[in-house]
Structure 1
Amino acid sequence: MQVCNLSTLGSACLGHVERRIWACSQDLGPVFSEIDRLVAANVRKVQAAFRAHRIGPHHFQGSTGYGHGDLGREALDSVMAAVMGAEAALMRVQFVSGTHAIASALYAVLRPGDEMLAVAGHPYDTMEEVIGTRGTPGHGSLMEWGVSYRELPLGADGRIDWEGLAKAIVPGKTRVAHIQRSCGYALRPTLSIDEIERAVKIIKAQDPSVVITVDNCYGEFTDTREPCDVGADLCMGSLIKNPGGTIAPGGGYVAGRADLIGRVAARLYAPGIGIDAGGVPGSTLRTFFQGLFLAPQTTGEALKGGRLVAELLHREGFTVIPSPGLPDVWSMITAVELRSKGAMTAFCRGIQRTCPIGSYIRPEPGVTAGYGDEVIFADGTFIDGSTAELSADGPIRPPYVVYCQGGTHWTHWALALEGAMTSLQEELAREN
Structure 2
Amino acid sequence: MVLSWKANLPEELQAKIDKVDKMIAPRLAEIDEQILHNQQRVLEIFRKHRVGEEDLVPSTGYGYDDIGRDKLEAIYADYFKADDALVRSQFSSATQAIAVGLFSMLRPGDTLYYLTGTPYDTIQEVIGLAGNKPGNMKEWGINFKATELLENGEVDFEQAKKDLQDPKIKVIAIQRSLGYAVRASFTMEKIKKMLKFIKEVRPDVNIFVDNCYGEFSECEEPTFYGADLIAGSLFKNAGAGIVKGGAFLVGRKDLIEGAGSRLNVPGAGKGEGATWGYLRDMYQGFFMAAHTTGQAIKGMIFTAALCEEMGMNVAPKWNDPRTDIVQTVTFGEPDPMIKFCGAIQHYSPLNSFVDPIPYHQDGYEDDVVMASGSFTEGSTIELSSDGPLRPPYRLYIQGGLSYEHVKIAIAHAVAETFYQD
Equivalents in 2 of 1:318, 1:346: separation in Å? 15
Offset of residue 233 of structure 1: 0.5
Aligned counterpart for 2:362 among listed residues 369, 373, 382? 369
Letter in 2 for 1:61: V
CA contact (8 A) 1:22 1:414 kept: no
Structure 2 CA distance for partners of 1:340 and 1:47, relative to 1, 3 Å:
same
Where does residue 127 of structure 1 map in the other structure? Answer: 123
Where does residue 318 of structure 2 map in the other structure? Answer: 324
Equivalents in 1 of 2:85, 2:140: separation in Å? 26
Letter in 1 for 2:259: V
CA contact (8 A) 1:171 1:206 kept: no
CA RMSD of aligned residues (A): 1.4
Where does residue 204 of structure 1 map in the other structure? Answer: 199
Offset of residue 187 of structure 1: 1.5
Offset of residue 346 of structure 1: 0.1
Offset of residue 349 of structure 1: 0.6
Matches within 5 A, 1:289-328: 289-325=283-319, 327-328=320-321
Q: Mean alpha-carbon deviation: is it higher for 231-240 or for 11-20?
A: 11-20
Question: TM-score with structure 2 length normalisation?
Answer: 0.96
Matches within 5 A, 1:234-313: 234-282=229-277, 284-313=278-307
Question: TM-score with structure 1 length normalisation?
Answer: 0.93
Deviations for 1:255-286, whole angstroms, at most 9, x for unmatched residues?
0000000110111112221111101124x101
Equivalents in 1 of 2:259, 2:111: separation in Å? 18
Q: 2:401 matched to 1:398?
A: no
Aligned counterpart for 1:78 among listed residues 74, 82, 95? 74
Q: Secondary structure at the match of 1:126?
A: helix
CA contact (8 A) 1:349 1:423 kept: no
Aligned counterpart for 1:419 among listed residues 394, 397, 412? 412
Offset of residue 202 of structure 1: 1.4
Equivalents in 2 of 1:15, 1:389: separation in Å? 29
Where does residue 5 of structure 1 map in the other structure? Answer: none
CA contact (8 A) 2:209 2:231 kept: yes
CA contact (8 A) 1:165 1:203 kept: no
Offset of residue 85 of structure 1: 1.6
Where does residue 26 of structure 2 map in the other structure? Answer: 30
Equivalents in 2 of 1:84, 1:205: separation in Å? 23
Equivalents in 2 of 1:237, 1:15: separation in Å? 42
Deviations for 1:335-379, whole angstroms, at most 9, x for unmatched residues?
100111111110011000110011011101001111111111111
Equivalents in 1 of 2:21, 2:55: separation in Å? 41
Where does residue 111 of structure 1 map in the other structure? Answer: 107
Aligned residues: 415
CA contact (8 A) 2:325 2:399 kept: yes
Offset of residue 167 of structure 1: 2.8
Structure 2 CA distance for partners of 1:13 and 1:33, relative to 1, 3 Å:
closer
Equivalents in 2 of 1:20, 1:65: separation in Å? 57
Q: 2:340 matched to 1:347?
A: yes
Equivalents in 2 of 1:56, 1:15: separation in Å? 52
Identity across matched positions, percent:
40
Where does residue 142 of structure 1 map in the other structure? Answer: 137
